[in-house]
Copies of this chain bind each other. A is one copy, B any other.
Amino acid sequence: MSKNINTASARAFEPEFVEKLKDIFEQRILFNQVLGLKIDQLGAEEVTGHIDMRRELIGHFAHQRLHGGVISATLDAMGGLAVMAAIGARHLDEPPAQRLLRFSKLGTIDLRVDYLRPGIGERFGMRAQVMRLGSRVASTRMEFLDADGKLLSTGAAAYIVS
């Protein structure tokens, strides 16, 4: 599928911005801690992350499958992170702390998740991409993959950004 986004970021994020964004995302958003969400890469056009399978995340007692809600929750979170990275890249002139304040204004408008294959495995990867960043609304696409890169679920979401 086409991308319509320049994948080469003009400039990389400062370590301070990355560190603080990781702290907010992985620690201070408490439910992300429950999910075990970890950021892997933080680019202006794509962010990636992962979660590890744990007993608490099981949705189907008989099959040791990941709960669908774990998938929808991580895809929503990753879509929001992608929007935050895109906003961060657009405002590189602002000091990191000021840029991060924009995170608290971000809200999910709506979310769609397509469950393609059961979530079985030890580790799962997520990828999110901003399809369009407007002044008021951002649209994203997300993917949930197993450790071999096989696509398990896809998602789409809209976020309010101002």
Contact = CB atoms under 8 A, between A and B. Distances in A.
Interface in A48-76: 55-63, 67-70, 72-74, 76
A6 interface: no
B109 A112 contact: no
Contacts of A18: none
Contact of A31 (B33, B56, B104, B114): B56
Report the copy number of this chain in the oligomer. 4
A67 B110 contact: no
Given A104-B62, A110-B158, A141-B154, A30 B55 contact: yes
Contacts of A109: 109, 114-115, 137, 139, 158
Give the size range of A's interface with the partner: 35 or more
A59 B110 CA distance: 16
Interface stretch (A8-16, A89-97, A144-152): A144-152
B108 A156 contact: no
Given A29-B59, A109-B137, A136-B160, 17 more contacts: A2-B145, A2-B149, A30-B57, A30-B67, A31-B56, A31-B59, A31-B67, A63-B104, A69-B76, A72-B76, A107-B115, A109-B114, A110-B114, A111-B111, A111-B112, A112-B156, A114-B158
